[in-house]
Amino acid sequence: MTSITAQTVKKLRDRSGVGMSKCKDALVEADGDIEKAADILRKKGLASAVKKEGRETKEGTIGFFESDTDIALLEVNAETDFVAKNEKFQKFTKDLAEQIVKTQPASLEEFLKENYEIDPSLTIDEYRNLLIQSIGENIQIARLEVIHKKDNSSYGIYSHMGGKIVTIVEISGSTAEAKFARDIAMHVAAESPEYLKMDDIPEAIKRKEEEIARVQMKGKPENIIEKILIGKINSFADGVCLLRQKYVKDPSLNVEKIVQNRAKEINANLKLTCFWRWKIGETI
């Protein structure tokens, strides 16, 4: 039998909001597997959907740089929040994001081999090592992405908690709606949607939600279960799909309706087409 540590129990408690004793029981039943234990708690009706937000994170900064044609996103990790706020660390992150927009590397590995524009005698990876020696902490470049702006579209960027979360929203139909897109990006930071719309939810995820719901409704007539399942899946989608979420600035409307209202207001065919939400320590 796998030994259940207090640290593992606490991780599950932080993710699920369920008491320590129940979390420990679930971990014992799941033989220490935290994902299985989370599902066990949900099947017992003890926890709601556990989202990516609950996962353990590292320290660091999400950097970004915007040009007329592209937006660069970059995550740089450090060991402590103290170093993440260090002026040298912050400048390094900002300079790298700007260089990514200019050089548009195909991968992180390719980027690390580039000459650093601030000091071309060194590669980016070599300069990173010098920064480690200077600051005294391990520094890692975790991921990067270049977002190519589309024609007749607006982009809103929002940085939250000093760069620990950065969100971007793409709205097609106008190039003059950056402020409106940024308002939606603020919503994305607060509500952490995982998908844009219902059709984007993988079938495996939907089946898992149905399985959990069926366990909770065990003993009810099948025709009743089917009706309730539809409601359960819709409720799940309302929580994880951006267009279906209640808008934080006006909870009487969902995000899709907010976009539709704005489209009517300016007489344009606006559509929320894509979003990005990066948080320190999460993988894509």
**Which tens digits make up the pLDDT trace of 24-57?**
999 999 999 998 998 888 887 777 555 544 443 3
Residue 221 in this model has a pLDDT that exceeds 90? no
What pLDDT is attached to residue 1? Answer: 59
Instruction: Considering the chain, tell me which residue range(s) the CATH 1.10.8.10 domain(s) occupy.
Output: 1-50
pLDDT per position as a tens digit, 253-264: 999 999 999 999
pLDDT computed for residue 284 by the predictor: 54
The CATH number of 55-149 is: 3.30.479.20
Residues contacting 157, CB < 8 A, separation 6+: 64, 66, 71, 166, 167, 168, 182, 185
User: Residues spanned by CATH 3.30.479.20 within the chain?
Assistant: 55-149
Task: State the Cα–Cα distance between residues 20 and 11, nearest whole angstrom.
Answer: 10
pLDDT in tens, 83-100: 999 999 999 999 999 999
Mean pLDDT to the nearest integer, 254-279: 98
* Mean pLDDT computed over every residue of the chain: 92
Sheet holding 70-78, edge to edge: 59-66, 70-78, 140-148
Average the pLDDT over 109-131 and give the result: 95
Q: Which of 37-46, 116-125, 153-162 has the lowest mean pLDDT?
A: 37-46
Query: Looking at the predicted structure, is the pLDDT value of residue 232 above 80?
Result: yes
Whether 274 has a pLDDT exceeding 80, the answer reads: yes
CATH code of domain 1-50: 1.10.8.10
- Quick one: CA dihedral 218, 202, 50, 3, positive or negative? positive
- With CA atoms as reference, report the closest residue to 76 among 85, 68, 84, 67: 84
Q: Tell me which of 68 and 39 has the higher pLDDT.
A: 68
pTM across the whole model: 0.81
